[in-house]
Amino acid sequence: MFRNRLTRNLSSTTKDQIWIGSRCFPSDRMTNLPSSLLPRLSQGLYEQAGHPIRILKDSIASQLAGFELLRYPDPVVSPFQNFDQLGFPDDHPGRKKGDSYYLNSQFMLRTHTSAHEIESFANAKEHWLLAADVYRRDEIDSSHFPVFHQMEGASVLPRTKIEEFALKTAELRYQQSHQNIRIEDQTAIDSGNPIQAAHRTEEAMIVTENLKATINSVIYGLFKHKLFSSGLPNQKNEPVQIRWIPAYFPFTSPSFEVEVLFQNKWLEILGCGVVQQRTLIEAKVPEKIGWAFGLGLERIAMVLFSIPDIRLFWSTDARFKEQFLHQAILSPSSSSPQQQEEEKPVEVVTFQPFSKNPGCYKDLSFWIPAPTTTTSTTESSFEANDLFEIIRDVGGSWVEEVKLYFRAISRPILVINLDPAADQLSYEAAIDIRDLIRLEEVMEFHRLGPNGSILFCLEFLEKNFDWFAEKLSQLTSPSSSSESSKGPASPASLAQEIDYIVLDLPGQVEISTDHESLKNVLHKLEKLDWRLAVVQLTDSTHIVDPIKYISIVLLNLKTMLHLGLPQVNVLTKIDLLKHFNEDFKLKLDFYTDVQDLSYLLPLLENQISPKFANLNKAIIELIEDFNLVGFESLCVEDKTSMTKLILTIDKALGYYPSHRPSLADPRGVPKTTTSSEGAQVVGEPDAMAIEAQLGPSSGLLTEIQERWIDYPELYDHFQRQLWADESQLVQQRASQLSQIHAIQKNKQSP
């Protein structure tokens, strides 16, 4: 089903041509624009009267009197306009098909309003604003949407008139001295955030000071109204607090980010800086100098109007639009200190939710085919945004969020590849042994086969452990980077960022059972206070054969004894056992508990010559005497199974996280909202969060046995019926809310 949907989606976006208005664009290998996005190109939310985006755009424009508001309604630009003219490097990730929408190799949808910056300067515009819709491929959640809106502003002057910047700065600072504003600015102009070589220090500082005074005025003009309208008495007289921090952008230098303190959190508002002189040279106005800023309108509107989900901006429901019909423009402060004291702040609308449909979780698991020799890496690599596009194409805005399981339960993971024979990785490796040594070079130089070359590579890693240690130190957070030269950081320094670091090892058994290099590397990590545990994965379909099952148990036992580390043995792909019902003689718990193996002796004798009967009995007694081996069962489609495995690995590591696995806010903080009275309201826990917090269930193996082995068809039928019932419930709830809204509207009518 997933493959069919993928094929249909691609065929709809890679047809021979794409029409936008009266223009036709021929498709080619770069085309990735889905048909579901085409209607968004003409909606123009920033031009719709009474829409929050339009209100915010006009409010910002009102703060910058004398700035011309430019219009660029056409979102189709060339990659040259979008990237090259602005100095983006050839390898910038924004150029990838996975991040941007391409009509073909010659045209794309703009990813930022800066695509029109040079054009605006070239048209002799000096003080201008520009708001427009921009497009980026992104994940599915409440703060991301493939279409959003940016506003850009710029102010440039001939260098011979630069004193006008200084005069305006003095005027703005005089106004701010009488405003309830607090500015934190510890930015420095240094080698990390330098003045451009084409600029004199004095003129660059004049431009920078004018930029800061102007942006401070705009932010104060917006947020003074919000603080007054918050409904919280202690915030009405609070100052608007603004913080400046250094940043990097390809099109400005020096560059800055600006944040505002709201409800005790610093919120990023915009990025800005002194315009790169090469941009003005490209625009044929090399004699000018100035600054520019860019901001996301949705990000600020969500804060000002308390809108919790970015997708609500695209709602056609009258209950959304009606809330903002009477919202006034957030006007700027008067220039006179006396008038500032007398003026009244504008009341800011607080969005009121108008419906709440019950949540419905769906799990999606699928295999990504490995690249073949006939496909390039670019063609075969999987992009998460490709999946999001397919889901969004089907579910539209009804899909609230799509998350990887470990990210969903706030368990971020880094994976380290220690397999030099890996051709393609299905993940982004945090550290890759192939950066240290290449398998094909070892095979050619030392004339070794594949297995021997892998062993040689691990021996080379052991001898160059300092390289591995340095790479590990680079995974630490910036706060601990000062200690990076002292060897790999302790896991404690990573605790706020990552829960697991996974070492992906080669599949050759002798690496874990006999060879010393891997063992030595792991023990060196232990000496550096890293907690380690081995997770050995075995395909569960092998256990239906008694000979293979006994071999698997012995292999796991040998690994445990050789490596001398806590070990979790896992039987994977449990759902495939339904295809082996006739050969599956015993219940699943017999194989996971590894007890009473004498039951297997008759089955072994049927497969092996009777003369080995005593050997079989001795092997089974040996396993039972050690009594060390047991197995966890894993079906990746079963969240309970996955959660139990995570908790088992935690115990093996002696790791007890301060947060439970949860789908609530990050680090397991329960979802909270603020009522109109300012009270904190704890939201209802969601079903998957509750499930992720449960410990191992005593009946879990029985449930897995019934769900995935004994009665899979019955459970599948039940699940489909459950989804149908949930869908019907959602429709009934929506219909009831519509009727209630209609009745309330009729009562309000004269």
pLDDT band (50, 70, 90) for residue 147: very high
Supply the pLDDT for residue 418: 92
pLDDT in tens, 290-327: 999 999 999 999 989 989 888 889 888 888 888 998 88
Burial status of residue 293 (CB atoms within 10 A of its CB: 0-12, 13-18, 19 or more): buried
Please indicate whether residue 672 or residue 613 has the higher confidence score (pLDDT).
613
Of the ranges 32-36, 46-50, 590-594, 614-618, the best mean pLDDT one: 46-50
**Residue predicted with more confidence, 204 or 646:** 204
| pLDDT higher than threshold 90 for residue 109 | yes
Region of residue 708 (phi > 0: left; psi between -120 and 50: alpha; otherwise: beta)? alpha
Confidence at residue 368, expressed as pLDDT on a 0 to 100 scale: 59
Tokens (6 digits) for 290: 């100035």
Token digits of residue 566: 């806590």
6-20, 53-67, 219-233, 681-695: range with lowest mean pLDDT: 681-695
Q: How far is CA 461 from CA 484, 513, 520, 530, in A?
A: 20, 18, 10, 18
pLDDT tens-place string over residues 453-473: 999 999 999 999 999 988 888
| pLDDT of res. 394 | 65
Q: For CA atoms 554, 557, 559, 561, give the dihedral sign.
A: negative
For tokens 């419906």, the residue is 355
| pLDDT of 680 above 70 | no
- How far is it, in rounded angstroms, from Cα 60 to Cα 29? 40
Reported as a single tens digit per residue, the pLDDT across 159-181 is 999 999 999 999 999 999 888 89
Do you find a cis peptide bond into 254, omega within 30 degrees of 0? yes
The H or E element spanning position 184 is strand 181-185
What is the per-residue pLDDT for 397?
A: 58
Place of tokens 């019955």: 714
Q: pTM for the complete prediction? A: 0.59
Above 50 in pLDDT, residue 375? no
Closest by CA position to 317, among listed 734, 748, 750, 744: 734
pLDDT mean across residues, the chain: 79
- Strand, helix or coil for residue 108: strand
Give me the pLDDT at residue 97, please.
Answer: 86
Name the pLDDT band for 70 (thresholds 50, 70, 90).
very high
User: Which residues are CB-contacts of 534 (< 8 A; sequence separation ≥ 6)?
Assistant: 512, 559, 560, 563, 565, 566, 567, 568
Give exposure, 609-626, as e/b (b: 16+ Cβ within 10 Å): eeeeeeebeebbeebeee
pLDDT at 491 over 70: no
Q: How confident is the model at residue 483 (pLDDT cuts 50, 70, 90)?
A: very low
What is the 8-class DSSP label of residue 518?
H
* 119: amino acid identity, one letter: E
Most confident of 416-420, 544-548, 723-727: 416-420
Residues 632/700, Cβ–Cβ less than 8 Å: no
Q: Do 349 and 327 form a contact (C-beta atoms < 8 A)?
A: yes
Look at residue 133 and tell me whether its pLDDT is greater than 90.
yes
Q: How far apart are CA 609 and CA 30, in angstroms?
A: 62
Q: Is the peptide bond before 696 cis (omega within 30 degrees of 0)?
A: no
